[in-house]
């Protein structure tokens, strides 16, 4: 176990905390408030932000889509450059926050922002950034990752940089009151998957990371079982905090990671606009079956510690069944149906994208080659 861990994002958690941005952003900043399709205008979040920025000089950019595109974000990059913006305030879910990370990094670069994803540009500075989270799911509010789509070529790729770590994140669970059911479920499933990507590898004996991951999984299982309580303050606060902890860097420090489900899932989103969390539920069970011998020890541990299953020779298989049942009970499908044309053509297009993106040796053992991805997709695509 060897790692360097820092999480510098200041968290303002709880009801009424949006007003904290008044003091969290330096008053001499030129602020760009960035948001999505307008949900914040209907639920009062926009009004709270405007009230809190009364002492600031600010302007806004809206229209960041779910699964944000470079094409849209580049318009904001131009504004940051031309209007000398020195603070970006993201108000939204993972898409808006990720989009702002791209805007922050690309606005400190003279070339095409997509160079960040191809490795042509290494991020060495970025515009300062803060976030008001409106959808608990990705953990983007306090991590240094972002996933951006180039619509023109249907490429959906991640980048990581400490320079785009938000300076602060406001997490007021009241903002969740206006979330559509679909997005609440997506958030719960995405957070679950984030823990799995950092936990379901092989036995390494790092009991802090394992134990903490198991707590988060048990929380999420409980919140799924108590889904009928989703309108309670406590349920909302617990989901918001659990989803944050699932991908704030802590449980992933010093342990092997997988992330193959995410990398294959991103291709389904880029090709067929499958919601991010739902793309993961489609890929993961089939990927776990494919890698079951590599992951048997950890699957058994998850089965015992999270689902309280008895130790049997088929415990790993039963654990995958229990996970699938958890997704299905929330109305999340574990087979892909959203493609035009036949199944063979669908598999071919995903494999071509994986190849193009260099995703040819995925997972903690680099064991998921294009051939393994083919088998995974055979099972995952209906």
Contact positions vs Zn ion (CB under 5 A):
190
Q: What residue 162 binds from ligand NZQ, Zn ion, none (CB within 5 to 8 A, per partner kind)?
A: none
**Rounded least distance, CB 67 to ligand NZQ, Å:** 4
Q: Closest separation between CB of residue 53 and ligand NZQ, Å?
A: 18
Q: Which is nearer to ligand NZQ, 132 or 299 (CB)?
A: 132
x/- map, 38-77, ligand NZQ, by CB under 6 A: xx---x----------------------xx----------
173 sits near ligand NZQ (criterion: CB under 6 A) = no
Judged by beta carbon, residue 43 or residue 369, the one nearer ligand NZQ is: 43
Mask for 251-290, x = binds ligand NZQ (CB under 6 A): -----------x-------------x--------------
146 binds, among ligand NZQ, Zn ion, none (CB under 5 to 8 A by kind): ligand NZQ
Q: What torsion do the CA atoms of 207, 210, 212, 216 make, to the nearest 10 degrees?
A: -160
* Partner whose footprint covers residue 369, from Zn ion, ligand NZQ, none (CB < 5 to 8 Å by kind): none
Stretch that binds ligand NZQ, among 75-83, 95-103, 162-170, 346-354 (CB under 6 A): 95-103
- Report the 10 Å Cβ neighbour count for 358: 11
Distance CA 301, CA 309 (A): 9
Tell me, by CB under 6 A, how many residues bind ligand NZQ.
33
Q: Using CB under 6 A, pick the residue from 11, 20, 76, 137 that binds ligand NZQ.
A: 137
7's contact among ligand NZQ, Zn ion, none, with CB below 5 to 8 A by partner kind, is none
Q: How far is CA 292 from CA 64, 83, 287, 317, in A?
A: 39, 53, 8, 8
**Contact flag: residue 134 with ligand NZQ (CB under 6 A):** yes
d(CA 280, CA 198): 14
Shortest separation between residue 262's beta carbon and Zn ion, angstroms: 6
- 348, 338, 321, 190: which is closest to 261 by C-alpha? 190
Instruction: Indicate the pairing of strand 87-92 with strand 128-133.
Output: parallel
**What is the 3-state composition of the chain as percent helix, strand, coil, each rounded to the nearest 5?**
55, 15, 35
Is residue 145 within the footprint of ligand NZQ (CB under 6 A)?
yes
**Beta strands per DSSP E along the chain:** 10-13, 30-35, 57-61, 87-92, 128-133, 145-150, 155-160, 168-171
Number of neighbours of residue 221 by Cβ within 10 angstroms: 18
3-state class (DSSP) for residue 135? coil
The span from the CA of 220 to the CA of 191, in Å, is 8
The span from the CA of 185 to the CA of 51, in Å, is 31
Q: Which residues bind ligand NZQ (CB under 6 A)?
A: 36-39, 43, 66-67, 92-96, 98, 134-135, 137-140, 143, 145-147, 175-176, 178-179, 183, 186, 190, 247, 262, 276
């Amino acid at each position: 176990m060897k790692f360097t861990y820092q999480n510098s994002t200041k968290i303002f958690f709880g009801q009424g905390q949006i007003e904290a941005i008044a003091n969290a952003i330096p008053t001499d900043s030129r602020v760009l408030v960035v948001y999505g399709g307008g949900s914040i205008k209907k639920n009062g979040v926009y009004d709270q932000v405007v009230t809190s920025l009364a002492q600031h000089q600010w302007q806004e950019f809206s229209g960041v889509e779910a699964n944000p595109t470079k094409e849209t974000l580049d318009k904001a990059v131009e504004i940051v450059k031309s209007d000398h913006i020195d603070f970006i305030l993201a108000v939204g879910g993972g898409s808006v926050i990720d989009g702002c990370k791209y805007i922050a990094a690309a606005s400190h670069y003279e070339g095409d922002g997509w160079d960040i994803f191809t490795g042509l540009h290494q991020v060495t500075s970025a515009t300062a950034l803060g976030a008001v989270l409106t959808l608990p799911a990705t953990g983007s509010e306090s991590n240094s990752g972002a996933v951006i789509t180039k619509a023109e070529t249907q490429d959906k790729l991640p980048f990581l940089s400490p320079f785009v770590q938000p300076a602060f994140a406001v997490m007021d669970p009241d903002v969740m009151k206006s979330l559509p059911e679909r997005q609440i479920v997506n958030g719960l499933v995405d957070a679950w998957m984030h823990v799995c990507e950092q936990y379901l590898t092989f036995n390494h004996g790092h009991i802090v990371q394992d134990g903490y991951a198991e707590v988060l999984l048990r929380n999420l299982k409980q919140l799924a079982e108590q889904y009928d309580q989703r309108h309670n303050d406590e349920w909302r606060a617990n989901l918001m905090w659990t989803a944050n902890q699932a991908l704030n860097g802590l449980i992933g420090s010093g342990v092997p990671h997988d992330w193959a489900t995410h990398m294959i899932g991103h291709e389904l989103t880029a090709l067929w606009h499958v919601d991010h969390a739902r793309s993961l539920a489609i890929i993961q069970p089939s990927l776990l079956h494919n890698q079951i011998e590599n992951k048997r020890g950890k699957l058994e541990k998850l089965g015992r510690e999270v689902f309280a299953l008895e130790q049997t020779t088929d415990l790993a298989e039963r654990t995958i069944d229990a996970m699938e049942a958890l997704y299905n009970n929330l109305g999340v499908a574990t087979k892909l149906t959203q493609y035009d044309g036949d199944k063979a053509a669908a598999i071919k297009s995903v494999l071509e994208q994986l190849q193009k993106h260099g995703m040819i040796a995925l997972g903690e053992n680099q064991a998921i080659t294009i051939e393994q991805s083919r088998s995974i997709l055979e099972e995952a695509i209906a």
